[in-house]
Amino acid sequence: MSKTAFLFPGQGSQSVGMGAEFYQEYDFVREIFDMAEETVKMHISDLCFKGPMEDLTQTVNLQPAVTTVNLACLAVLEKEGIAYDFCAGHSLGEYSALNAAKVVSAEDTIKLVYNRGKLMHRESLKNKGAMHAVVGLPIADVAALVAEVQSQGIVSVANHNSELQIVITGSPEYVEQVSALARQKGAKAIPLKVSGAWHSQLIKGAEEEFNTILSQRKFHPPEKILVLNVTGDMATEADEIKAGMQRQLCSPVKWYDAMGIFAQQKVDTFVEVGPGKVLAGLLKKILPSDYPVKIYNVSNMKQLEIFLKKIA
């Protein structure tokens, strides 16, 4: 029997124009945008459809913008009657996954990511940070290099995205030191265009305040199987999920482990629900070449039509 997982993208998947086609096509998508705009008092539709990219990419704008588009894409798929069994989201995208699993309401999802973005932005202004993607070394090797430099300053693993793609985060000079050591071992180290050291101790100042906001939101037991970033494993209880989200801000994203859980569960259909193709690209690197899988992206009308034809 076929098993389907919905994957939700986060920061880095944004593009000017995202969500526009579904907005024009469906009244219920316009209602989602209206709800989000009313919730955060921000012109999310203008940001998504017109940009400019510089404004869209600011964390405080980007988090509610990408999340609104994710929720719109999810609503389109649900309206088409697409059944799904599992869900996960990458970093910011995990909040969309909470909504997909019916753990958190759409309105609370938008409130959470808006506050998350504001607090992360505040901390990034206090503490200059950097993130680099290290490509070509396994997690144990990167972790060893990080440990070598950690005694001097703040640097850590931010994302374990695929077997040989690991993102490091922290103070710029120490991130560069780890990158230099990685290059000596034959890896590539690529600076990422980010405004802060996400998933690091440099944004620890946001954690307590954000956790207070989290504690005020109602979490329900998941109706779908949810795999968390902080554990890379399934979570079935509302309190367990909330505890995971309280750690998520400054903890590594164990995406490689999470996708391994889906493979163990024999998920054979993956749908990236939201803008871009980052997660589909990672999945192709993670799953074995002989693993039987179908991978789709749904963020515009053409992609939706292709998907619906393929599964008909």
Does the annotation count 121 as an active-site position?
no
Given 45, 199, 200, 299, the catalytic residue: 199
Contacts of 199 (CB under 8 A, 6+ apart): 91, 156, 158, 159, 169, 249, 250, 251, 252, 253
8 Å CB contact between 256 and 163: yes
Contacts of 225 (CB under 8 A, 6+ apart): 85, 86, 87, 101, 234, 236, 265
* Residue-by-residue pLDDT tens, the chain, 312 positions: 899 999 999 999 999 999 999 999 999 999 999 999 999 999 999 999 999 999 999 999 999 999 999 999 999 999 999 999 999 999 999 999 999 999 999 999 999 999 999 999 999 999 999 999 999 999 999 999 999 999 999 999 999 999 999 999 999 999 999 999 999 999 999 999 898 999 999 999 999 999 999 999 999 999 999 999 999 999 999 999 999 999 999 999 999 999 999 999 999 999 999 999 999 999 999 999 999 999 999 999 999 999 999 998
Q: Structure pTM?
A: 0.97
Q: How many CA atoms lie within 13 A of 141 on its CB side?
A: 17
Q: Which amino acid is at 12?
A: G
Question: In the chain, what is the straight-line distance between the N-terminal and C-terminal CA atoms, in Å?
Answer: 15
Of 285, 233, 237, nearest to 264 (Cα)?
233
Q: Give the 3-state secondary structure of residue 134.
A: strand
Given 91, 96, 124, 179, the catalytic residue: 91
8 Å CB contact between 65 and 10: no
Q: Where do the domains of the chain lie, and which CATH numbers do they carry? A: 4-125+201-311 (3.40.366.10), 129-187 (3.30.70.250)
Does the annotation count 91 as an active-site position?
yes
At 191, phi and psi to the nearest 5? -60, 140
